[in-house]
């Protein structure tokens, strides 16, 4: 089988819920099928955008299984498996790989704030135990600790660690990783707004929140950047810039879930402690969707 490449625009999927708060399996199937039909390059179920923190392991397994079933081997299915307990992260990895994940996304341990040597030990233990490839996820704004460039580069030497999702916002750090990484190690932006910058430095793509609402446009942006057509990539970047901002007017995934609901793809239902987007932000979100060439329902 041809290896599934980690590149382009990869959607960090929202999880649809029914009005009474259960996983909406028909809506999930339809949403994944639509993403694929729109040309998306990969899917990340049960990450932070998918409200994994409020999903049971049984629910996460089910969401990954449905996503993998609909994807049918056509593109990577990268399951969010991370937590701040290394043993539980390993258990999650085994369960989600068995459910059909082709890769595992592991956020660095939140709240614990381990030193860099602790991060090295954590990721190596996870990668040693995982049966599918592991992707690092550095997002200091949520975890309260940065996985430094030297740490990521050391981890990149592990044969089962194949990429990083870099959401530090530190372009100098990201550029250093790109410059010094070993062959075959992919660098993916974790910030939609920095996709063009990261890819211009040589990164492979983005794990995107905005592509929940605009998969074709994010795919086009990444495809143009990958071909070196930065003028075309800037056209798409400019079209999407209002949405890059609107998607984070409140905590993710509240705004993007509202946006996808405006497009009629899912219901705007979240699990506590997340709540629906404040109504005062809806005009900004609707304007951003219109600017991106999308028509709110």
Secondary structure class of 207 (helix, strand, coil): strand
Q: From edge to edge, which strands make up the β-sheet containing 205-208?
A: 42-44, 8-12, 205-208, 186-189, 161-166, 134-138, 103-107, 78-80
Q: Residue 21 and residue 97: Cα distance in Å, rounded?
A: 25
Point out the catalytic residue in the list 111, 113, 165, 257: 165
- Helix and strand tally (H, E) in the chain? 12, 8
Point out the catalytic residue in the list 111, 113, 123, 137: 137
The pair of three-digit structure tokens given for residue 134, joined into one six-digit string: 């592991």
Q: Confirm whether 257 is a catalytic residue.
A: no
Phi-psi category of residue 45: left, alpha or beta, with phi > 0 → left and psi -120 to 50 → alpha: beta
The pair of three-digit structure tokens given for residue 243, joined into one six-digit string: 């949405």
Tokens 């028509």 belong to residue:
295
The pair of three-digit structure tokens given for residue 202, joined into one six-digit string: 């040589």
Q: CA angle 6-7-9, nearest 5°?
A: 120
Q: Residue 288 and residue 14: Cα distance in Å, rounded?
A: 19
Q: Confirm whether 113 is a catalytic residue.
A: no
**Cβ distance 133 to 103 under 8 Å?**
yes
Report the 10 Å Cβ neighbour count for 111.
Answer: 9
Q: Residue 211 and residue 219: Cα distance in Å, rounded?
A: 8
Name which of 173, 161, 177, 181 is nearest 119 in CA terms: 161
The pair of three-digit structure tokens given for residue 126, joined into one six-digit string: 């996870």
For the annotated catalytic residues, the residue numbers are 137, 165
């Amino acid at each position: 089988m041809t290896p599934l490449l980690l590149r382009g625009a990869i959607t960090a999927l929202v999880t649809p819920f029914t009005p009474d708060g259960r996983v909406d399996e028909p809506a999930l199937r339809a949403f994944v099928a639509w993403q694929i039909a729109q040309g998306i390059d990969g899917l990340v179920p049960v990450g932070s955008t998918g409200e994994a923190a409020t999903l049971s392991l049984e629910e996460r397994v089910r969401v990954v299984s449905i996503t993998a079933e609909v994807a049918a081997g056509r593109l990577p299915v990268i399951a969010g498996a991370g937590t701040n307990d290394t043993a539980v992260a390993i258990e999650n990895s085994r369960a989600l790989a068995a459910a059909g994940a082709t890769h595992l996304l592991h956020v660095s341990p939140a709240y614990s704030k381990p030193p860099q040597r602790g991060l090295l030990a954590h990721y190596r233990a996870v990668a040693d135990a995982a049966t599918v490839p592991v992707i690092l996820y550095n997002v200091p704004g949520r975890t309260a600790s940065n996985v430094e460039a030297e740490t990521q580069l050391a981890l990149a030497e592990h044969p089962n660690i194949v990429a990083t999702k870099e959401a530090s916002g530190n372009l100098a750090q990201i550029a250093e990783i790109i410059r010094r990484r070993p062959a075959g190690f992919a660098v993916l932006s974790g910030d939609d707004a920095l996709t063009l910058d990261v890819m211009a430095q040589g990164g492979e793509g983005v794990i995107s929140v905005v592509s929940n609402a605009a998969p074709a446009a994010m795919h086009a942006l990444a495809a143009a950047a990958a071909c070196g057509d930065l003028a075309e990539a800037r056209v798409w970047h400019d079209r999407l810039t209002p949405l890059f901002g609107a998607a984070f007017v409140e905590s993710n995934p509240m705004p993007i879930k509202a946006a996808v609901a405006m497009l009629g793809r899912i219901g705007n239902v979240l699990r506590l402690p997340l709540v629906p987007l404040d109504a005062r932000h809806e005009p900004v979100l609707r304007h951003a969707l219109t600017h991106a060439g999308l028509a709110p329902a």
